[in-house]
Structure 1
Amino acid sequence: MITYRIDVADVHAHLYRVTLTVPQPAPEQVLSLPVWIPGSYMVREFGRHLSEVQARQGRTPVPLQQRDKTSWIARPEGRGALTLSYLVYAFDTSVRTAFLNASRGFFNNTSLCLRVEGREAEPHRIELGALPRGWEVATAMPADGPRAFVAADYDELVDHPFELGSFWRGRFEVAGVPHEFVVAGAWPGFDGDRLLTDTRRICEAQVAFWHGPQGQPPYERYVFMLNTVEEGYGGLEHRASTALIANRRDLPRPGVAAASDGYVTLLGLISHEFFHTWNVKRLKPAPFAQFDYTRENYTELLWFFEGFTSYYDDQFLLRAGLIDAPRYLKLIGKTVNGVLAGPGRKVQSVAQASFDAWVKYYRADENTPNATVSYYTKGSLVAMALDLTLRAEARGSLDDVMRALWAASDGGPVDEAAILAALQSVGRRSYADELAAWVHGTDDLPLQPLLERAGVAVKPEPAGWSAALGLRLSEGALSGVQVRQVLRGSAAERAGVSAGDELLAVDGWRIRRLDDAQQWVGAGLPFELLLARDQRLHTVRVVPEATPAATLLLSPADKPAKSAAALRRAWLGC
């Protein structure tokens, strides 16, 4: 069996030592580290963190040639076991790579475990060496002895992250299947019982959604791994676990009944990553049926796999009774306004954005909102538009489409034709025109009439002054007002404001927050803006738009028509 021994080599230098044993190696054995991790669509070059790579057979050194940035060739003598040893630098707190310090360890095996090319289909085993005093281990990989774990193949090996350290741990069951939640870095005294109860309600609702009230989930055990930090947010799905990062202040507190916005955001993240258990880990784009770990794996379907998951994440907070309909509509309104505020939505379709994720979404810069659209947010609105269309036509719902797609594909790879076929099966008509316009086009979605038809009032309200001027800023008492992004076609762009500028004064008055200037600048009137750029001062004249920018406020309509009221009850439960 291919075996990796992983030792905590030096917590202060943030180093793991990996010892890989390959029985019966090939005469020219190629070994390579992935350049990306499934679920995070960017080439991250994990191999740059490897050092001191050495090979031997017994006590005999084996020639080892580095072939490229991420692969090596070993030339052993005979079929005796080949052993490689190397160090891995691990100091990335994200969910995508590896981390190690004196209080915590975490790793994805894409960062630590070289792939033995030609042997990927064989069982792989991980053995953990001695850990610092008081440290525990959390992973969904099946145990194979004390601190030993086994995977059926390399794909499974790299789909099980590990959490190490002294962390909080809680457990619950769903449909008789054990679920575990571990939390690292939390303040003392957070409400762990509430976190478990709320997470269990989400899991129960999603398992029943996919498999019915008596159904079983497609795993034997599931682990949530949450790392709480001062500032952070994100998650990465795996076949039987998820790695999460969130603000520690967003954890629930004992005796506080109301769910804070931060806690609702955390629950939405938990819901999102758990829904991926089905929608991307099993249902998946056809090109992901067999991963190529050496390069980008392209698909135009992230609008479905990430976008539809983004629609259902907050939906399940509503269905599980963790938020009410007005709060849910507030979350939708935030998404709608975020999409409408980005000029890039008129430049790039969500299908194109999916394909370009490797070079655009994960490499955001000052021009990102002008050049691309998020397949998460607009994809979620495509899902909502399809759901409301199906419901309005009294032909089922998007729930039925998701389950039909699961059944037709046997929970496996799909393409856009399969999605269209599932839509047609449920809706009893073709939805090719909708997908052509909403997924492959760049026009805005017909959200307002769809929402109003569902008994939801859509009201415009003025946007914040900075947003109306086309500016996205970083503001603080110490850092001043820094321009992060300038939106295409905006008043700020016409005035000559650029990303990286520091805004100093408006009409001669020093500012620490740009919106403060509304106290002396007349509504809609031009003003002089003093800014610093490359150590030089510039004054520009800003002429606001004749029609100020607006955002949309969504709320349940007071007296909807009878048909709208029925649709709203079915959709929102109110």
Structure 2
Amino acid sequence: MPAPRPQPSTAPVHYRVEPADLHAHLFAVTLTVHRPATRQELSLPVWIPGSYLVREFSKNLQSLRATQGGRPVALAQLDKHRWQAQCKKGQPLVLTYEVAAYDTSVRTAWLDASRGFFNGTSLCLRVHGQEDGPHALELVRTPATSGWSAATGLTPAKATRTGFGTYLAADYDELVDCPVEMGTFWSARFTAAGVPHRVVVSGAAPSFDGERLVADMRRICEHQIRFWHGSGKAPHASYVFMLNVVDDGYGGLEHRNSTALICGRRDLPRVGEARAPEGYTTLLGLVSHEYFHTWNVKRLRPSEFARYDYAQENYTQLLWFFEGFTSYYDDLLLRRCGLLDNTAYLRLLTKAIHQVLQAPGRHVQSVAQASFDAWVKYYRQDENTANATVNYYTKGSLVALCLDLALRREGRTSLDEVMRGLWQRCAGGPMTEADLLQTLKSLSGRDWSREIAQWVHGTDDLPLAELLLAHGVTLQEEAPQWAQRLGLRVSEPQGLQVKVVLRGGLAEQAGFMAGDEWLAVETEGGTWRMTKMDDLPLYAGPAAEVTAWISRDRRVFRLPLRLQPAPGRLGDTVRLTVSDPAQAERWLATR
């Protein structure tokens, strides 16, 4: 039987959070440590689990002061995110400070006159030595926010109907893994496989069809709980979806019993319109992805994450599994629960294949290396990223695809069973690559270390065509668009701007560089102004070579540009079609 949760008055660590100044975007925090150490150390995390980049949250903390019995306490800053208070025994330590909340993403904190949001990693100083004990969080509603409500996945101790009040966490990890949404949001509730769920939506337009969103979310949640547990019990007693709707945005961050999401306003379903916007499928995929993380990364997690170190990078080579396999299942489970048909699913799979094939970095970096390098490469992308790295989300999802199809072809098991086997083997806790290999062997009857070495730790292309064909889906090469044909990534809103020059492509051979503006193309028939890539075939006609006029640092250059790739070059644009519907259905429609 779990230990009883303490009452708010007895929680050793108590945070009082108040949206203090909406126009200055400041949260006010009062932290009470009832039994501080003589030299009590405190720190603010430098990163948030699920987003693998040191973000230095302490840059937003200001006006930190400490008192005991109303008298000032000496407070020394030790480094960029740590402080030490010189305390007297027997008296509570009270710290007050402010946090500037300007980040609209799901990772930090936001506050304005219409909405507040925060993750505990941005607002809650960690009390060293007391991380494993109970923590209380008190959410305060002010006169300026009298019409607001609050929502969080934390356990309420003494909360009002509006959600403000005091909540409890078993330890610091739980406290900072339950974000808080506040404002005048839309809210609804549903039950999936016996688990109560809540959806809060902030910023939606009046046309928003909340009933449809909730119905589709319920289908996703019910299907995923059954995927992992059959008729068994889910590991979470409740769940909260927090959706922030903006003019143009996308993102999500998983938590143990909640998720914070962002979507574009035009991506939501609309009342009275049977056909949902194209972006709605993307939103449902995001919901599916973050909910799948409830199992795969929040509980079944890399052994290196068995205990988070909030002070520095936490390295693992397994993000290809935890993010990549989740990315495989997010859309596949939409197909299986009837929210996508085969055509729509294969369209999404084609997009993932393109993202990998059209990145020369897949031959430079393995997906295991990409996982380890996430802290310095994935979240800091630049003009060379596509040439030097591979995306552990997309290639990881294709590794999962290949593994699933290879297992199904041999006929003894599937990746579905492997995922459930891992959950049982690791007791829903930390796992290693060796656990995956052992589970694969025990369920399939053979060793898979060669495939994992090649697909995960190697840089050769995956056997996609062969494995897809064995399941009734044909992969065919197609003629690429002109930008890809030349090895360019461009933007066209105001002239033709070169964003990326892909390694080994025709544009690189001609001397193009990221940041160039492509001004014109010169042919035998004259020189023509370029404003978009579609201008090139119009003006070049059948020519095998043209001269490109580009602007770089206010200087104009003429570059000789071949228009035909070298013979035998591997195609990086493909099309998927169902060649054997019965075979494809056995894979795609598995319940």
- The runs of at least 4 consecutive aligned structure 1 residues that moved more than 3 Å come to 546-550
2:413 aligned partner, one-letter code? G
**Count of matched residue pairs:** 565
In the TM superposition, 1:266-345 aligns within 5 A as 266-345=283-362
> 1:505 maps to what in 2?
520
- Match for residue 7 of structure 2? none
Identify which of 195, 202, 209 aligns with 1:191. 209
The residue matched to 1:357 in structure 2 has which SS? helix
Equivalent position SS for 2:492: strand
The 1:523–1:299 alpha-carbon spacing in structure 2 relative to 1, beyond 3 Å, is: farther
User: Could you say if the C-alpha distance between residues 322 and 30 of structure 1 is closer, same or farther in structure 2, counting changes exceeding 3 Å?
Assistant: same
Name the TM-score, length of structure 1 as normaliser.
Answer: 0.97
Structure 2 equivalent of residue 129 of structure 1: 140
Deviations 1:319-340 (CA, angstroms, capped at 9, x unpaired): 1100101111111111111100
Correspondence 1:143 to 2:143: no
Alignment partner of 1:572 is 2:591: no
3-state SS of paired residue (2:460): coil
In 1, Cα distance between equivalents of 2:45 and 2:300: 22
Find the counterpart in structure 2 of residue 63 from structure 1: 74
Which residue is equivalent to 1:79?
A: 90
Q: Secondary structure at the match of 1:424?
A: helix
| TM-score normalised by L of structure 2 | 0.94
464, 469, 484: which one aligns with 1:447 = 464
Q: C-alpha distance in 2, partners of 1:485/1:349?
A: 21
Identify the residue that residue 493 of structure 1 maps to in structure 2.
508
1:182 aligns with 2:200: yes
Distance 2:297 2:47 in 1: 16
- In structure 1, the partner of 2:445 is 428
Equivalent residue letter for 1:483: V
Q: Which residue of 1 aligns with 2:547?
A: 528
For the residues of structure 1 that align with 2:20 and 2:520, how far apart are their CA atoms?
53
- Corresponding position: 1:466 with 2:483: yes
Moved more, 35-44 or 508-517: 508-517
Q: CA deviation at 1:495?
A: 1.2
Q: Does 1:553 align with 2:575?
A: yes
Q: Is there any run of 5+ residues in structure 2 with no aligned partner, and where?
A: 1-10, 160-164
Structure 1 position 235 matched with structure 2 position 252: yes
What amino acid maps onto 2:320 in structure 1?
W
Q: CA deviation at 1:254?
A: 2.0
Q: Which residue of 1 aligns with 2:537?
A: 518
Specify the alignment match of 2:41 in structure 1: 30
1:239-273 CA-to-partner distances (Å, cap 9, x unmatched) read: 00000111110001123223432110000000000
Asked if the contact 2:357/2:572 (under 8 Å) is kept, the reply is: no
Deviations 1:446-480 (A, max 9, x none): 0001001111122211111011111111210xx32
Question: Which SS does the other structure have where 1:442 is aligned?
Answer: coil
C-alpha distance in 2, partners of 1:78/1:572? 64
Cα distance in 2 for partners of 1:198, 1:525 equals 51
Whether the aligned pair in 1 keeps the contact of 2:521 and 2:539 (CA below 8 Å) is: no
Matches within 5 A, 1:340-489: 340-476=357-493, 479-489=494-504
Hey, what's the Cα distance between the residues in 1 that align with 2:216 and 2:543?
47
SS at match of 1:485: strand
* Farther-moved stretch of structure 1 (240-249 vs 528-537): 528-537
Q: Alpha-carbon deviation of 1:77? A: 2.1
The 3 A distance-change label for structure 1 pair 519 and 570 is same
Across the aligned residues of Structure 1 and Structure 2, the Cα RMSD in angstroms comes to 1.3
Deviations 1:47-83 (A, max 9, x none): 1111111100121000000000000000012220001
Q: Equivalent pairs: percent with the same residue?
A: 57
Encode CA deviations 1:266-308: one digit per residue, 9 max, x unaligned: 0000000000000000000001001100000000000000000
The aligned amino acid for 1:234 is G
Aligned partners of 2:549 and 2:557 also within 8 Å: yes
Q: Distance in 1 between matches of 2:304 and 2:206?
A: 45
Tell whether the 8 Å contact from 2:495 to 2:517 is kept in structure 1 after alignment: yes
What are the superposed Cα offsets for residues 80-104 of structure 1, whole Å, 9 maximum, x if unpaired? Answer: 0001111101100110000111111
Answer yes or no: is the 8 Å Cα contact 1:26–1:79 preserved in 2: no
Whether the 8 Å contact between 2:268 and 2:276 is mirrored in structure 1 is no
Residues of 1 paired with 2:456 and 2:30: CA distance?
Answer: 47
